[in-house]
A and B are shown apart, each in its own frame.
Chain A
Amino acid sequence: MAEVARLAMPRAEAGPQVAPWWSARRRERLTQLGFLLPAVVYLVAFFGYPVAKNVVMGFQHYTTATFYTGAAPWVGLANYVAVTGSAVFGRAVLNTVLFTVGSIAGQFTIGLAIAVFFHRRFPLSRTLRSLLLLPWLIPLIVSSAVWRWILDEDHGVLNRSLGGAHLGWLTSTSLALLAVVMVNIWIGIPFNTTILYGGLQDIPQELYEAAAMDGATGLRAFRYVTWPLLRPVVTVVLVLGVVYTVKVLDIILGLTNAGPANATQTLATQSYQLSFQRFDFGQGAALGNILIVVSLLFAVGYLRASRRAVHS
Chain B
Amino acid sequence: MARRRAVLATVLTLTAAIGLSGCGGGGGAAAGGPVTSLRVLDYYNNEPDRTVYAQALDACGKQNGVTIDREVVPGAALIAKVLQQASSRTLPDVLMLDNPDLQQIAATGALAPISDFGLSTAGYADGVTAASTYQGAVYGLQPVANTIALFYNKDVLAKAGVAPPTTWDELKTAASRLTAGGRYGVAFSAAATYEGTWQFLPFMWTNGGDEKDITTPQVAQALQLWVDLVSSGSASRSVVTWDQADVREQFVAGNTAMMVNGPWQLPVLKQNPNLHYGVVPIPVPRAGQTPVAPLGGETWTIPRTGDPARQAKAAKIVECLNSDASQDELARQRATVPTKTSLDAAFVAQNPEMATFTSAVQGGRARTSELGPDWPKTATKIYTAIQTALTGSAPPPAALRQAQDG
CB-CB under 8 A from B405, the residues of chain A are 87
Contact of B107 among A64, A148, A260, A262 (CB under 8 A): A64
CB-CB under 8 A from A88, the residues of chain B are 406
In chain A, positions 67-97 with a C-beta closer than 8 Å to chain B are: 67-70, 86-88
Contact A69 B108 (CB under 8 A): yes
CB-CB under 8 A from A278, the residues of chain B are 376-377, 380
CB-CB under 8 A from B393, the residues of chain A are 173, 261
CB-CB under 8 A from B402, the residues of chain A are 87
CB-CB under 8 A from B388, the residues of chain A are 261-262
In the assembled complex, the CB of B181 is this many whole angstroms from the nearest CB of chain A, namely: 11
In the assembled complex, the CB of A252 is this many whole angstroms from the nearest CB of chain B, namely: 11
Bitwise interface map of B from 326 to 341 toward A, beta carbon under 8 Å scored 1, else 0: 0000000000000000
Please report the C-alpha to C-alpha distance between residue A86 and residue B79 in the assembled complex, in whole angstroms: 26
User: B38 an interface residue at 8 Å Cβ cutoff?
Assistant: no
CB-CB under 8 A from B384, the residues of chain A are 261-262
Contact A260 B182 (CB under 8 A): no
**A173: nearest residue on chain B (CB-CB)?**
B391
Contact of A64 among B105, B191, B192, B380 (CB under 8 A): B105
User: A102 an interface residue at 8 Å Cβ cutoff?
Assistant: no
Instruction: Please classify how large the interface on chain A is, using the bins under 10, 10 to 19, 20 to 34, 35 or more.
Output: 20 to 34
Please report the C-alpha to C-alpha distance between residue A191 and residue B117 in the assembled complex, in whole angstroms: 59
Interface of chain B, main secondary structure:
helix
**A259: nearest residue on chain B (CB-CB)?**
B192
Contact B380 A256 (CB under 8 A): no
CB-CB under 8 A from B108, the residues of chain A are 64-65, 67-69
- The verdict on A172 contacting B241 (CB below 8 Å), with A65-B109, A154-B255 known, is no
Of the candidate stretches B153-161, B232-240, B267-275, B307-315, the one touching chain A is: B232-240
Contact B255 A260 (CB under 8 A): no
- The verdict on A65 contacting B107 (CB below 8 Å), with A154-B255, A173-B391, A262-B384 known, is yes
In chain A, positions 147-173 with a C-beta closer than 8 Å to chain B are: 148, 152-155, 168, 170-173
Contact A171 B238 (CB under 8 A): yes
- The verdict on A261 contacting B387 (CB below 8 Å), with A64-B108, A68-B110, A87-B405 known, is yes
CB-CB under 8 A from B80, the residues of chain A are 276
User: B87 an interface residue at 8 Å Cβ cutoff?
Assistant: yes
User: B84 an interface residue at 8 Å Cβ cutoff?
Assistant: yes
User: B104 an interface residue at 8 Å Cβ cutoff?
Assistant: yes
Bitwise interface map of B from 102 to 146 toward A, beta carbon under 8 Å scored 1, else 0: 001101111000000000000000000000000000000000000
In the assembled complex, the CB of A212 is this many whole angstroms from the nearest CB of chain B, namely: 53
Please report the C-alpha to C-alpha distance between residue A69 and residue B83 in the assembled complex, in whole angstroms: 11
Please report the C-alpha to C-alpha distance between residue A153 and residue B396 in the assembled complex, in whole angstroms: 23
Contact B87 A68 (CB under 8 A): yes
Please report the C-alpha to C-alpha distance between residue A64 and residue B104 in the assembled complex, in whole angstroms: 7
Closest A-B pairs by Cβ, 6 of them? A259-B192, A87-B406, A68-B108, A261-B387, A257-B192, A65-B108
Using A170-B238, A256-B192 as known contacts, list a sample of 8 further A-B pairs with CB atoms less than 8 Å apart, ordered by residue number in A. Answer: A64-B105, A148-B241, A155-B255, A171-B241, A261-B391, A262-B384, A273-B380, A276-B80
Chain B contact residues, CB within 8 Å of chain A: 79-80, 83-84, 86-87, 104-105, 107-110, 182, 191-194, 236-238, 240-241, 255, 373, 376-377, 380, 384, 387-388, 390-393, 402, 405-406
